[in-house]
């Protein structure tokens, strides 16, 4: 059930949550959430990780 009054990003549905680029887990209100950004072809790219460990383990 969707509650239209909770639209402040505090109740993120798993379907809307970013997923870890390394392990694929949905990242919901994770205090260890890491976002890596870079510019490619003039556009800003994002990659989400659930933790520093996953960020370090990810091999491009």
Q: How far is CA 60 from its chain centroid?
A: 17
27 near Zn ion, judged by CB under 5 A: no
Of 4 and 31, CB closest to Zn ion: 31
Q: Applying CB under 5 A, which of residues 18, 22, 34, 48 lies at the interface with Zn ion?
A: 22
20 near Zn ion, judged by CB under 5 A: yes
54 near Zn ion, judged by CB under 5 A: yes
Q: What is the CB-side half-sphere exposure of residue 8 using CA atoms within 13 A?
A: 3
Residues near Zn ion (CB under 5 A) are 20, 22-23, 50, 54
């Amino acid at each position: 059930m969707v509650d239209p009054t909770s639209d402040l990003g505090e109740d993120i549905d798993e379907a809307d949550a970013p997923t870890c680029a390394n392990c694929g887990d949905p990242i919901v209100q994770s205090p260890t959430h890491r976002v890596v950004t870079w510019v490619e072809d003039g556009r800003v790219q994002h990659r989400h990780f659930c933790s520093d460990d996953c960020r370090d383990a990810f091999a491009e």
